[in-house]
Structure 1
Amino acid sequence: MTARSVAQTVHHVLGEPTTVGVVAHDGSTAGNLDGRVMRLHTPRAIGYIASHPGQVGFARAYLQGDLSIDGMDEAYPYEELRLMDGFDVRLPPLRELPDLVRVVRESGVSLTALPPLPELETPSEVRRLAHGIRHGRRRDAEAIRHHYDVSNRFYEMLLGPSMTYTCAVYPRPDATLEEAQEAKYELVCRKLGLRPGMRLLDVGCGWGGMVRHAVRHHGVTALGVTLSRAQATWAQERIAAEGLGGAEVRHADYRDVTERGFDAVSSIGLTEHIGVRRYRSYFTFLRDRLRDGGRLLNHCITWRSPDHVPMRRGDFVARYVFPDGELAASGRIVTEMERVGLEVQHHENLRQHYARTCAAWCENLSASWQECVAEAGLPTARVWGLYLAGSRLNFERGSIQLHQVLATRTSAEGESGYPLRPDFG
């Protein structure tokens, strides 16, 4: 068999797609150069791809500037991800490994393993996530800082005025992102049955959007907690500027909340960080914060199937975006809530809304691309472009979903405080 060139080897790893061409750093070419062209600018790209032929190898080469695709919008690479999603990216069979090793050696690079859970700080520098017990307090705090403490200014450009980094609810197809985020908070408030004088606990409160909406529009007293100091500082400043008495955001672990007797608890986008094995203790803790008849609304990303393979450390999202993130099927959420004595009243899938939300965030990133790069650095901005475009694609195809599960702490006498029929839209 004739030895493959560098470009031919990479094209082969991609599954030899007929619509894509490859141009390597040594001038070799392969595939359809009249289609979408992938360019390998340095020998290092070959090392990344050979070490990790799946999504992480190609992503790492792109993030470090060693790989590009002609015509690609770095802020919104949705079409490129749709294209690559159809590739049959694979490890070469054993009989072809000598050819791959030869190509790597001739490129002058070594096959070194990528460090676990790196955080890109510059194009050539990474930092390991602090060691510790998976989903222990110290490591959870490190994981949250990795994802959320990028820069408040960066998030303002990415998320828009609402500063809300969770799935919006679109009341109509032409609604704006801001209208949809307002509708999401209002839907949660209505599901929780909030009325003036009630007490709300919002765990994983982010920049305080739910806290501020509930206090402003429903007259409750609300406490929000977040592990991100940057989020807490932003939220505290906004609450003070808006003069919202009864609204509080703490920089704290949700497990540090000692108050009890809340009328309602909202968990919007926190369960993804908890760890599946800790669901029972998590829902037990939230149940114990509620009074009898109080309501809990859990809003989180889920797998489509209970048989879906868990997020792997080698996946792009696990390595670069959500360290220690874990997902489960919505049925697992329901089961764990019921196991701790909560009574599930309502269950809703908002998958299509999250696809729209991700698309809107991508558009924001594209519109402010240069400012986002200046604020957070090119590698981080590229990570977010890939992550959000890929998330949109996965929500559209249904491989991941977004479920809201509403439950009550029903009393021993069977009093739930829940109406005969839901009174929310």
Structure 2
Amino acid sequence: MRFMATYDFMETLRTTNQWLGASAQALGSYPAASMTANPALQWMAAWGEVTERSFARMATKPDWGIYNVVGEDGRDHIVDVDIEVSKAFGDLIHFNVQGRDEMPRKVLIVAPMSGHYATLLRSTVVSLLPDCEVYITDWHNARDIPVSEGKFDIEDYTLYLVEFMKYMGPQTHVIAVCQPAPLTLAATAYLAEEDPAAQPRTLTLIGGPIDPDATPTDVTDFGNRVTMGQLEQSMIQRVGFKYKGVGRKVYPGLLQLSSFISMNAETHARAFSDQISRVAKGEAGEHDKHNKFYDEYLSVMDMTAEFYLSTVDRIFKGLEIAKNEFVVAGKRIDIGKITDVAVKTVEGENDDISAPGQCVAALDLCTGLPDSKKAFHLEPGAGHYGIFAGKSWRNNIRPLVLNFIDQNSGPRSVGGTQAKPKTAPKAAAKPAPKNAKAS
């Protein structure tokens, strides 16, 4: 009960601050307060508005907010978010564009399970929708999953990806963003041995810790500074009585958020101070830059304890993917078995979470893959978020990824027979890069 009490205490602090913010905003907004020439009341209301909104977002799952996309016909087409595969710990969802023919490129985005919802990749989805049929993994908040659903660790995560890839078929192009990169690589290798015909056509790994020791950062080296016992005692709590997952052991999203904020505490403090000033002066808007960013950034989800601990123990401490020793359901996965899935890695020059060198290590592990099916790109000046959601992604990386997809969308030889794609690629196939240095 000690851990459950701690979880409820954190939730109590959150709701208390939310209530204080709402109260301050209400008190400072009374008409009577306007009768006094005291700016302190305006600042109190502004502080309350920013505080209430911030703490309320921490317990709210953001909406996708993708309502339409402009088609090749120049018309707006409604976008429906359809659940294709529903499972206890996560769904496979499809952004179904109404009134548009199915796009030749079928893309599966594997979203990270690292404290934020899949909506963190909203801008990535939006940028791909005009040219692709876009699917994404939508992981559930562990606090809302009853204990009766059982455990969920990195092996279960990998098997979820295997199931999603099988469902989507062999003409799928997979893009894994950050944390899931090593497990997506393992899932592809699993299919290479168990069901080769179900493998995706291409695999793009963006800023993921394939080999965390290749270029250690404060984030990836964290696991080496503490023992697993210390980690379990200090980070793991039981979900409180407020949620359906009551009693489940989790790594709370609020703890993860505190870690995120502490990394750049001064920057965040200044951002909130400036926003309070803008609200007090009447210069802020409902969807201004600050709110747009922090509505997503502050929305956090709990991870199951077994997923968090097994990630640290096996990916970061044990380096099971980096050493090609990863085991799923008692079966050792050999990444060298990947022989005809084109693999591309993308890294950011200024990435302080998964530094350059960590993700490109995947290409060395693919010993059975010819160089013509390997490619990597190092984006100059880009940080971690920029390589999948910022200007670097939109202007440079996205076109390279789409070109890589088109280059590797031809028929595949599986078991001596040619497997033809269901639809022809949008652009004519071109020879893949002959060496890993190609973008």
TM-score normalized with structure 1 length: 0.30
TM-score normalized with structure 2 length: 0.29
